[in-house]
Amino acid sequence: MTFLLDEIALATARLAEAGVPSPRTDAEEIAAYVHGVRRSELHNVTDADFDALFWEGVARREAREPLQHITGRAYFRYLSLEVGPGVFVPRPETEVVAGWAIERLREMDVASPVVVDLGTGSGAIALSIAQEIALATVHAVEVDPDAYRWAKRNILEHGQGRVHLHPEDLADALSELNGQVDLVISNPPYIPPGAIPRDPEVRDYDPHRALYGSGSDGLDEVRAVERTARRLLRPGGFVAVEHADEQGTPVYLIFSEDNGWRDVRSRQDLTRRDRFVTARFGQE
């Protein structure tokens, strides 16, 4: 074990030098992945077990390839999801958005709530809701064929029979559910054209279709979510839409009272940055 700890320490130094934000954690995650154990079980790995594949993974992470692409897994709330090239890697800030939705569903006087996740990507939000709200029926919408395949794999693993996947565009999805949905949630593309993400893991590896929104401000997909949510929701139903931290005010204004929205609020993530807007439809 001493040898492995030394190797992890060396890997941590290399990753820190490369600017990786969490070098020790990532080195340990790569070691755990290579040896088929959890990070908490690394103490069970003997020196004889150490594998040179560890250094291959470290070199990939040193080049700023996402950790989740190296291990093939992303953790989201209580789920371990398959991810890789072609799908957006779910972020911790989105867990806050999903958590808000789950709390609203628990408070509803609805035995079997109907939920729609627009632009589901890996299926992270849809599957979390299905896992934590036992009687919910969740519809996940994803038009991109690569992301759809990842969502399908995760739904087969975690949500078969509970999450229904639809290969549709979020702008005109699920007309058969008009007026019947209790909650709509979305993490749509919203980065404005011309804005370049700072982190190489995002800029170079996340699919551009999941990142960059349409329109001069990048918010045309958010506007489409607003229109779709207005069509799908029953009176009193809720919507939650994620956005970039500097977009709180413009997204807030998209959900106008003239269109029937009430209780519109800009909400923050764990770093106290504006992260998502919520609103209730219809009822005074």
CA-closest candidate to residue 65, choices 197, 196, 201, 208: 201
Beta bridge partners of 267: 276
The tokens for 85 are 């090239």
Q: Is 260 annotated as a binding residue?
A: no
Which residues touch 135 (CB under 8 Å, ≥6 apart)? 111, 112, 113
Q: Is 66 annotated as a binding residue?
A: no
Can 88 be counted among the known catalytic residues? Answer: yes
CA-closest candidate to residue 259, choices 243, 276, 279, 242: 279
The active-site residue out of 187, 238, 276, 281 is: 187
The active-site residue out of 54, 88, 255, 281 is: 88
Residue 81 CA to residue 152 CA, distance in Å, equals: 11
Q: Is 259 annotated as a binding residue?
A: no
DSSP string, 159-208: TTTTEEEE---TTS--GGGTT-EEEEEE----BPTT---SSHHHHHHS-H
Taking CA atoms, 113 is separated from 42, 175, 233, 261, 269, in Å, by 41, 17, 11, 20, 25
Can 207 be counted among the known catalytic residues? Answer: no
Q: Is 123 annotated as a binding residue?
A: yes
Q: Is 120 annotated as a binding residue?
A: yes
Q: Is 218 annotated as a binding residue?
A: no
Q: Is 178 annotated as a binding residue?
A: no
The active-site residue out of 90, 154, 188, 281 is: 188
Residue 185 CA to residue 131 CA, distance in Å, equals: 16
Instruction: Read off the amino acid at residue 186.
Output: S
Can 193 be counted among the known catalytic residues? Answer: no
Q: Is 190 annotated as a binding residue?
A: yes
Residue 167 CA to residue 52 CA, distance in Å, equals: 41
What residues act catalytically?
88, 187-188
Q: List binding-site positions.
A: 119-123, 142, 187-190
Q: List binding-site positions for substrate.
A: 187-190
Q: List binding-site positions for S-adenosyl-L-methionine.
A: 119-123, 142, 187
